[in-house]
């Protein structure tokens, strides 16, 4: 996530209050995360006449995603007896914020508790021209990238669509961003204007749930974010890349991180399955398939591992012909990490070589480091305490 000199330095606060949320009620179907079709089907199942179901689903959709309403009793364009019927069959529930931390730079990290007592992290990064929410798609990760903190936590489970879009909704709750009556959220300069799927997990290993949640985020009658404001980051799950273009159509970022298969095999082990050449083929096809402008190449700067001038030149050769931006991410340390961040001079020199070849090469300023909210530092706190670093695959 790019930085800006925007956020005022506020003291670090640690808010241990649990915001009040409804616990899962037995037997009630949660409407959050259902696609429009699934919502309609659920209403019919619960007794809404088929002829009315489409209209009712639309009304509910607007209450839930446009206005942020959680209680059927507040849905004033529905008849009172119908509201009562709905509340007997359904609930509108987003995950609970177990803890909220605010960094000195304004970054907010939410420890989010989902059903089963599991936890994921969601990070909000305010900048001068945007507010980005970094959301998680899995509890832990099946992949074991050797520089990534999340990669030291085994996969516990995939998040549901409701838990994925729920992270957007709980951040909007915390930011107080549900529109006042009569105001169109499109008219406002939004606090939450962008989503990046760069939290915990590999989004393309939870494809359907991520797709359904992002469809809700993009829905013109819901959260209303443009597909250009949503970026999905993958470590390189090649077979799902074309599908991402076709079924989601959002912007794509790829965790590239190395310019030879030998090094990438160690940093991003999924490379052994889909090596650099295969990945590049899939990336080359993406902009046309998704009608998006360019791919973001993420490149974590690891001292003496992938940061030489030769690496920078190889990178340029590899991506030639792909509309691209290269995000250079100074390595964020975490306890027991087997790497060091490249020196600032080295990173600048690397950026310069890429820039001179005609590519944007911004260096990300880490955000929220003081609360372990920066890229690659996320990991459920409970896990952090009980699961020391496994041997590094350097």
- The set of catalytic residues is 121, 375
Residue nearer to ligand SF4 on the CB measure, 122 or 150: 150
Residue nearer to ligand SAH on the CB measure, 368 or 376: 376
Give residue for tokens 């074991």: 144
Evaluated on CA atoms 109, 256, 129, 162, the torsion sign reads negative
Contact of 7 with 107, CB cutoff 8 Å = yes
198 binds, among ligand SAH, ligand SF4, none (CB under 5 to 8 A by kind): ligand SAH
Whole-angstrom distance, CA of residue 332 vs CA of residue 324:
23
Residue nearer to ligand SAH on the CB measure, 144 or 224: 144
Contact of 2 with 125, CB cutoff 8 Å = no
Looking at residue 363, the DSSP 8-state letter turns out to be: B
Whole-angstrom distance, CA of residue 252 vs CA of residue 197:
10
Residue nearest to ligand SF4 (CB): 151
Footprint of ligand SAH on 351-380 (CB under 6 A) = 375-376
Give residue for tokens 């990300």: 364
169 binds, among ligand SAH, ligand SF4, none (CB under 5 to 8 A by kind): none
Which token pair is 60?
Answer: 């509910």
Contact of 252 with 232, CB cutoff 8 Å = yes
Smallest distance, Å, CB 170 to ligand SF4?
Answer: 21
Binding mask 8-47 for ligand SAH (x = CB under 6 A): ----------------------------------------
383 binds, among ligand SAH, ligand SF4, none (CB under 5 to 8 A by kind): none
Q: What residues make contact with ligand SF4 under the rule CB under 6 A? A: 141, 143-145, 148, 150-151, 201-202, 235, 255
Smallest distance, Å, CB 202 to ligand SF4?
Answer: 4
298 binds, among ligand SF4, ligand SAH, none (CB under 5 to 8 A by kind): ligand SAH
148 binds ligand SAH (CB under 6 A): yes
Decide: helix, strand or coil at residue 307: coil
| Alpha helices by DSSP H, the chain | 36-45, 50-61, 80-89, 161-175, 207-218, 241-247, 261-267, 276-290, 309-319, 344-356, 381-386
Residues that bind ligand SAH (CB under 6 A): 147-149, 198, 202, 233-235, 255, 298, 300, 329, 331-332, 375-376
């Amino acid at each position: 996530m790019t930085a800006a000199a925007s956020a005022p330095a506020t003291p670090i606060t640690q808010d241990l209050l649990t915001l009040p949320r409804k616990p899962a009620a037995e037997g009630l179907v949660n409407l959050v995360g259902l696609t429009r079709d699934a919502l309609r089907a659920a209403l019919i199942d619960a007794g809404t006449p088929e002829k009315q179901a489409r209209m009712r689903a639309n009304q509910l959709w607007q209450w839930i995603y446009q206005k942020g309403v959680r209680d059927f009793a507040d849905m004033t364009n529905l008849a009172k007896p119908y509201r009562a019927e709905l509340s007997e069959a359904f609930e509108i529930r987003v995950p609970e914020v177990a803890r909220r931390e605010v960094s000195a730079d304004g970054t907010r990290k939410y420890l989010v508790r989902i059903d089963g007592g599991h936890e994921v992290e969601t990070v909000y990064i305010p900048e001068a021209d945007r507010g980005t929410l970094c959301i998680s798609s899995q509890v832990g990760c099946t992949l074991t990238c050797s520089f990534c903190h999340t990669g030291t936590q085994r996969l516990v489970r995939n998040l549901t669509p409701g838990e994925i879009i729920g992270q957007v909704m709980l951040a909007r709750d915390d930011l107080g961003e549900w529109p006042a009556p009569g105001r169109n959220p499109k008219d406002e300069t939004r606090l939450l204007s962008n989503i990046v799927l760069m939290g915990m997990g590999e989004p393309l290993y939870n494809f359907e749930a991520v797709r359904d949640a992002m469809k809700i985020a993009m829905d013109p009658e819901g959260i209303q974010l443009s597909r250009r404001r949503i970026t999905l980051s993958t470590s390189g799950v090649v077979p799902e890349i074309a599908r991402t273009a076709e079924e989601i159509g959002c912007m794509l970022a790829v965790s590239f991180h190395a310019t030879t298969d030998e090094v990438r095999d160690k940093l991003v082990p999924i490379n052994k399955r889909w090596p650099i050449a295969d990945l590049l083929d899939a990336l080359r096809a993406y902009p046309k398939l998704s009608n998006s402008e360019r791919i973001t190449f993420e490149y974590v700067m690891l001292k003496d591992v992938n940061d030489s001038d030769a690496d920078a030149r190889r990178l340029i050769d590899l991506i030639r012909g792909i509309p691209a931006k290269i995000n250079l991410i100074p390595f964020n340390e975490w306890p027991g990490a087997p790497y060091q961040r490249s020196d600032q001079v080295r990173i600048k020199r690397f950026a310069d070589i890429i820039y001179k070849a005609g590519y944007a090469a911004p260096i990300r300023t880490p955000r929220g480091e003081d609360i372990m909210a920066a890229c690659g530092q996320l990991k459920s706190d409970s896990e952090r305490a009980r699961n020391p670093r496994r041997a590094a695959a350097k």
